[in-house]
Amino acid sequence: MIAVHPSNIKMAEKYCQYAIKLLHENVQYDRQVFQTGIAAHYMLEVIGNKANELQRSLNAFELEDLVEEICKELINKTRYYDGVPEPPVPLADILEAKLMVLEYTRNNDLPHDANYEEEYALDKDWNFCDYNDPNAIFRTIIDMVHVYKDEDDQIVAHVKDYKSSWYITGLLDNIQRKAQAVVVWMRYNPDKLIMDVTSIRTGQIIQKEIFCSGNGQQLNEWADFIQQASATLCDLNKLIPQPGLNCYNCPYASSCQYVVRSANRSNDVVHKYTAALAVAKSLEKQVKEITKENNVTQGNTTVGYVAKESKSIKKGAITELLNACLEAEWDIYTFIEYLSINRTQANKIMRDLPPEQRNKVKHLLINKVTTRFGVDK
């Protein structure tokens, strides 16, 4: 039996249950880990715990000294995730995280009475248990939970999830956020939840408030779904492979016998096509690495990096063409008729126009529906 994480539930919904089995069997796959984010999260955890210890915010000099120490530790530190060792974070990612975290913490004090990287685990009866309890069927870790009383004497639980990506839109209603809301609600019984996603790279914050007294039914429904999903997915031997269109983009496509079998033997030609694409796509990174120095050729077919000549236009050509047209006594409007402007260029022009002129021409941008053949993610 395993303990299910929100990411496992998402994996089952996006691909299939069997992907979780392959994950826990340590089957090799192309794992896109954002190492900068891992380093940044660890730095914020250490800074937050230090603020708790001192019972105050750290000043700029203390922050720089502490982050420098963390960087040295991360260079040689073996990180563990649920008991599984992971390699040290590359130096370039550590340095990127350092700059990001220092910029963020200079402008945003971390609460000195919050819980950082707080662990939650629940057993089959949906009671809290120790995070490492072998009877746990669900686990999650939250970046920061700050519980306090507001001016109306209401208990508020501020749940913060740090992201190091540029864009954080659409992250308030996913399974991770629902799981965080449920476990914090169950543990602290607050009057209000503040669900917060923060980009430490840009400083952008998106959040929503959940008033627990009026949303108890919604929170119970989320809790029931997560409990049922965890009970279903915690037994690796009962996870069912579901090869089909969902195999596309699955990180285990090239290693999963059911995807490969579907690509070779499926009677459904669409499923067969999608499975074959999934296997090819999952192997692409390896093939690129193999052929980085030398292409692989057989007969008239070459796999690798092939140089092809394409025609382009010199920088400044527009000015020279305009001058040539004016010398030929064209008027400016005749010249403009030969030019083509795309939506991106039009957006740039409108962005730089004064508001009054921008409003006059914004109707020129229209939406158009087009179709293309392929697998839509």
377 pLDDT tier (thresholds 50, 70, 90): low
Contact 48, 114 (CB under 8 A): yes
Mean pLDDT of the chain: 89
Task: Give the mean model confidence (pLDDT) for residues 179-194.
Answer: 96
Indicate whether 129 pLDDT > 90. yes
Does this model's pTM top 0.85? My answer is: no
pLDDT of res. 144: 96
Tokens of 309: 């000549």
pLDDT digits (tens, 9 = 90+) for 151-169: 999 999 999 999 988 888 7
Q: Is the pLDDT confidence value at 200 over 90?
A: yes
How many separate domains does the chain show?
3
pLDDT confidence tier of residue 323, bands split at 50, 70 and 90: very high
Dihedral angle computed from the Cα positions of residues 273, 276, 277 and 283, in that order, rounded to the nearest 10 degrees: 180
Same domain, 145 and 272: no
Residue 180 has pLDDT above 60, yes or no: yes
What tens digit of pLDDT does each residue of 62-91 get? 999 999 999 988 888 766 666 666 677 888
Could you tell me if 72 and 195 lie in one domain? yes
Residues 208 and 174 in one domain: yes
Letter for the amino acid at 16?
C
Burial 345-376 (b: 16+ CB within 10 A, else e): eeeeeeeeeeeeeeeeeeeeeeeeeeeeeeee
Q: Does 146 lie in the same domain as 261?
A: no
Residue-level pLDDT at 33: 57
Residue 277 forms part of a structural domain: yes
Most confident of 141-145, 309-313, 364-368: 141-145
Co-location of 261 and 137 in the same domain: no
Residue 297 lies in a domain: no
Give a yes or no: residue 265 inside a domain.
Answer: yes
Q: pLDDT tens-digit profile of 5-15?
A: 999 999 999 99
So what's the pLDDT on residue 271? Answer: 84
Tokens of 55: 């019972």
What integer pLDDT is reported at residue 82 of this predicted model? 66
Do 48 and 170 lie in one domain? The reply is yes
Q: In sequence order, which residues have a C-beta less than 8 Å from that of residue 96 and are 6 or more positions away?
A: 36, 39
Radius of gyration of the chain (CA): 27
Specify if 299 maps to a domain: no
Identify the three-state secondary structure at position 204: coil
For 91, the 3-state DSSP assignment is: helix
Structure tokens given for 175: 């399974």
Question: Predicted confidence band at 255 (pLDDT cuts at 50, 70, 90)?
Answer: confident
Looking at the structure, do residues 167 and 52 belong to the same domain, yes or no? Answer: yes
Q: What angle do CA 162, 163, 166 make, to 5 degrees?
A: 145
Residue 189 lies in a domain: yes
Quote the pLDDT of residue 145: 97
Please name the residues in contact with 208: beta carbons below 8 A apart, sequence gap of 6 or more: 172, 194, 195
More confident residue, 31 or 315: 315
pLDDT given at position 136: 95
- Position 148 scores a pLDDT of 95
What's the rounded mean pLDDT across residues 297-308?
89
Give yes or no: residues 158 and 179 share one domain: yes
Q: Return the closest-CA partner of residue 373 out of 244, 274, 296, 225.
A: 274
Judge whether 254 and 279 are in contact, CB under 8 Å. yes
CATH of the domain at 74: 3.90.320
Confidence of residue 32 (pLDDT cuts 50, 70, 90): low
Say yes or no: 215 and 110 in one domain. yes
Domain range for 323: 319-364
Residue 206 has pLDDT above 60, yes or no: yes
Q: Where are the alpha helices (DSSP H) in 79-174?
A: 91-107
User: What is the average pLDDT across 43-59?
Assistant: 94
For residues 95 and 36, give the distance between their C-alpha atoms in angstroms, rounded to a whole number.
Answer: 8
DSSP state of 235: -
> Residues with Cβ < 8 Å from 125, sequence gap 6 or more?
none
Do 127 and 271 belong together in one domain?
no
pLDDT at residue 31, rounded to an integer: 56
pLDDT confidence of residue 254: 82
- Contact of 22 with 10, CB cutoff 8 Å: no
Do 250 and 324 have their domain in common? no
Tens of pLDDT, residue by residue over 99-126, are 999 999 999 999 999 999 999 999 999 9
On whether residue 122 sits in a domain, the answer given is yes
Residue 337 has pLDDT above 90, yes or no: no
Cα–Cα distances in angstroms (integers) from residue 283 to residues 62, 270, 277, 280, in the given order: 46, 20, 10, 5
User: Per-residue pLDDT for 50 more than 90?
Assistant: yes
Where does a domain end: 233, 266, 295? 233
Q: Which of 102, 190, 104, 208 is nearest to 145 (CA)?
A: 190
- 302, part of any domain: no
Sign of CA dihedral 359, 365, 366, 367: negative
Residue 250 lies in a domain: yes
Nearest to 252 by CA among 1, 24, 4, 5: 24
**In the prediction, which pLDDT does 94 show?**
92
Clarify whether residues 64 and 135 are in a common domain: yes
Helices (H) and strands (E) in the chain, counts: 13, 9
The residues with which 194 forms a beta bridge, in sequence order, are 158, 209
